[in-house]
Amino acid sequence: MCFDLDSAPPIAPISGAAVSHDDLVLEARDGNRFAAFAASPDETAPTGVVILPDVRGLYRFYEELALRFAERGYAAVAFDYFGRTAGAEKRGDDFEYMPHVQQTTPDGVQADVAACVAHLRARETGTVFTVGFCFGGRHSWLAAAGGHGLTGSIGFYGRPGPGNDGSPGPTQWAAEFACPILGLMGGDDQGIPVEVVDAFDGALDEAGIEHELVVYPGAPHSFFDRKQEEFASASEDAWNRVLAFLQRLS
């Protein structure tokens, strides 16, 4: 897993921010009903963010992250991957997620992304980004080729190469991307060697896709965590880059 159950985004809440939040059940084009968590400023937000969690799906870390975006003026929807196999109900901390992860498909994830994008656009949010972590980072980048009309795609420590089953990853899909890319990677991520990040960078260069891939020296996978105090400066820089990316392209 990417984060411990008691992990939290390394972002300070904005006291007194006027935001609303709600638990949702959304429906994808294939009829899948899945859980989501929406947070938004009380005033109409012109820009929205779809949050793709790590392999564990929707849990508290990503609900808090949605709130942090809303406090800064962005409408956000974080969603769960396992509606097709585990239903849309709330789950406990002992949920065995890996059997469900193994049953996800890229097409299924992108169908759910599309439903989240539609939910945001139905609320007068015209500009939409994706941001994902680990498993979600990979699929956030893949969403850039998903026909969602995204303005930008952000991934924290996603695997850009082929999947374990040989399916093409973001590096292989780069020529089909339709929006700028931001990648935030750990330089000491044991599962994603820097050479793999370099190959992704090269593919984006070759495809002519605007992008920035940042590698934080010494940072592990899942460094973006309040508990990872030794990597607080990397987390702060990464968050500032996310906000700058959103602001520049919105």
Name the helix (H) or strand (E) containing 117. Answer: helix 106-121
Q: Which two tokens stand for residue 238?
A: 């990464």
pLDDT tens-digit profile, the chain (250 residues): 577 778 899 999 999 999 999 999 999 999 999 999 999 999 999 999 999 999 999 999 999 999 999 999 999 999 999 999 999 998 888 999 999 999 999 999 999 999 999 999 999 899 999 999 999 999 999 999 999 999 999 999 999 999 888 899 999 999 999 999 999 999 999 999 999 999 999 999 999 999 999 999 999 999 999 999 999 999 999 999 999 999 999 9
Q: In this predicted structure, what is the pLDDT of residue 165?
A: 85
Q: In this predicted structure, what is the pLDDT of residue 104?
A: 96
Name the helix (H) or strand (E) containing 95. Answer: none
Report the C-alpha gap between 43 and 187 in whole angstroms. Answer: 39
For residue 38, give every residue at least 6 positions away whose Cβ sits within 8 Å of its Cβ, in sequence order, or none.
21, 22, 24, 66, 75, 76, 77, 119
Q: In this predicted structure, what is the pLDDT of residue 77?
A: 98
Burial class from Cβ neighbours inside 10 Å (0-12, 13-18, 19+) for residue 60 reads middle
Q: In this predicted structure, what is the pLDDT of residue 1?
A: 52
User: How far is CA 245 from each of CA 82, 119, 151, 226, rounded to the nearest angstrom?
Assistant: 29, 22, 10, 22
